[in-house]
């Protein structure tokens, strides 16, 4: 937690949060749900006129945070809801310069967020079988909106060539040479699209960011990496091996297959071919590999000494194997 921010569980923190909620709401409990490196999430258990109500408060926890500000993220999320994408309803945002920091309060949506759990549990079998179609539908709705829909938010983004070159520049600043990464960069370079972005990409649409209930997709979480791109980027990212949690035979997030995803997506929106999906799957795999390198660099450089980050550095070999397989055999 950053120095100077109010602890949401303290009396002052509760009072500040209650002021953002409907009048006469009493916050009974603040429960920390997860504390990532750059963001912290809390559940707020409240009572309003005798009835229990739950909310979620999520805020940026450090200057390391690289994504969109919470207010822009909240705007994106609200517009996605209008397009028919299942998301948690936005209640309020907290001022980045205020005592609570850069945060957003949303309604609480019930469901399981731990992908290794819902990918395995017998209780979620029906949810898993519906999920490929539901993901395709949610993404098709999001991607159907023209870029004008987001123009006032000054979101980052660019064409395929530009975002690949930005990623290559990041790779070079890390100063390491990983042959499988250069193999993938060289393979991708002539294949990336040069046309301008056509839509908003969620930017982190993977099994770990889906909230799942008995019926399937209850909400799409974590909109902070939203940017302007092309539809296939989100679909390729969903297929990256790292989000399958061992269920490698089901390339779509560990629960579905590519043909079904593309078929459902075409039914709900536009057609994307397996070849285009493959290009973005290579891109997504490489992107995850760079995250591993960056996290490892936090430890190696001494900036954030951590056993977890050091260990993630050795996951670079996993990504290297995925990239060789994807490039050599055009599947994974």
Partner 1 sequence: MTGHPTTAQLLVAVQLYLKEAEAALSGRLAFHAKVAGNTLGIVLRELEQAPAIAEAAALAPFGGANALCAALRSGEKSPEDAAVQQAIRAAVLARLAVDNPRYSTFLRLAERPIP
- The nearest distance, CB 331 to partner 1, in angstroms, is 10
Residue 248 binds partner 1, judged by CB under 8 A? yes
CB 256 within 8 A of CB 127: no
Looking at 78-86, 93-101, 196-204, 323-331, which segment touches partner 1 (CB under 8 A)?
Answer: 323-331
Residue 181 or 265 with smaller CB distance to partner 1: 181
| Residues 215-244 contacting partner 1, CB under 8 A | 241
CB 256 within 8 A of CB 131: yes
Which residues, 6 or more positions from 202, have their beta carbon under 8 angstroms from its beta carbon?
139, 142, 220, 223, 225, 226, 234
Residue 36 binds partner 1, judged by CB under 8 A? no
Residue 177 binds partner 1, judged by CB under 8 A? yes
- Closest alpha carbon to 270 in 230, 240, 236, 239: 230
- Closest alpha carbon to 127 in 6, 18, 213, 210: 213
Residue 29 binds partner 1, judged by CB under 8 A? no
Q: Which of 185, 223, 243, 255 binds partner 1 (CB under 8 A)?
A: 185
How many chain residues touch partner 1 (CB under 8 A)? 32
Residue 178 binds partner 1, judged by CB under 8 A? yes
Residue 70 or 244 with smaller CB distance to partner 1: 244
Residue 320 binds partner 1, judged by CB under 8 A? yes
Residue 300 binds partner 1, judged by CB under 8 A? no
Residue 169 binds partner 1, judged by CB under 8 A? no
Q: Which of 12, 64, 123, 182 binds partner 1 (CB under 8 A)?
A: 182
Residue 164 binds partner 1, judged by CB under 8 A? no
- The nearest distance, CB 61 to partner 1, in angstroms, is 14
Binding residues (CB under 8 A) for partner 1: these are 35, 177-187, 241, 246, 248, 307-308, 310-311, 314-315, 317-318, 320-322, 324-325, 327-329, 332
């Amino acid at each position: 937690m950053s120095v100077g921010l109010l602890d949401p569980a303290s009396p002052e923190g509760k009072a500040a949060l209650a002021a953002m909620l409907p009048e006469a709401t009493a916050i009974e409990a603040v429960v920390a749900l997860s504390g990532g490196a750059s963001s912290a999430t809390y559940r707020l258990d409240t009572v309003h006129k005798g009835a229990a109500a739950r909310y979620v408060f999520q805020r940026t926890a450090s200057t390391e945070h690289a994504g969109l500000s919470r207010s822009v993220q909240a705007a994106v999320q609200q517009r996605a809801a209008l397009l028919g994408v299942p998301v948690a309803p936005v209640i309020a945002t907290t001022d980045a310069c205020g005592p609570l920091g850069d945060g957003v309060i949303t309604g609480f949506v019930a469901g399981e967020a731990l992908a290794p759990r819902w990918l395995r549990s017998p209780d979620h079998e029906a949810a898993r079988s519906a999920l490929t179609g539901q993901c395709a539908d949610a993404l098709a709705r999001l991607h159907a909106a023209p870029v004008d829909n987001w123009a006032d938010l000054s979101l980052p983004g660019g064409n395929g060539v530009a975002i690949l070159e930005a990623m290559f520049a990041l790779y070079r600043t890390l100063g390491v040479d990983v042959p499988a990464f250069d193999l993938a960069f060289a393979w991708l370079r002539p294949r990336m699209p040069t046309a301008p972005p056509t839509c908003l990409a969620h930017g982190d649409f993977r099994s770990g960011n889906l909230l799942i209930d008995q019926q399937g997709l209850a909400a799409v979480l974590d909109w902070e990496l939203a940017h302007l791109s092309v539809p296939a980027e989100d679909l390729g990212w969903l297929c990256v091996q790292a989000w399958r949690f061992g269920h490698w035979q089901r390339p779509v997030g560990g629960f579905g297959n590519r043909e079904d995803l593309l078929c459902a997506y075409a039914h709900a929106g536009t057609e994307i071919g397996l070849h285009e999906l493959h290009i973005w799957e290579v891109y997504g795999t490489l992107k995850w590999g760079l995250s591993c390198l960056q996290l490892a660099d936090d430890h190696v450089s001494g900036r954030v000494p951590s056993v977890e980050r050091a260990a993630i550095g050795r996951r670079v070999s996993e990504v290297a194997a995925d990239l060789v397989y994807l490039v050599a055999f055009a599947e994974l």
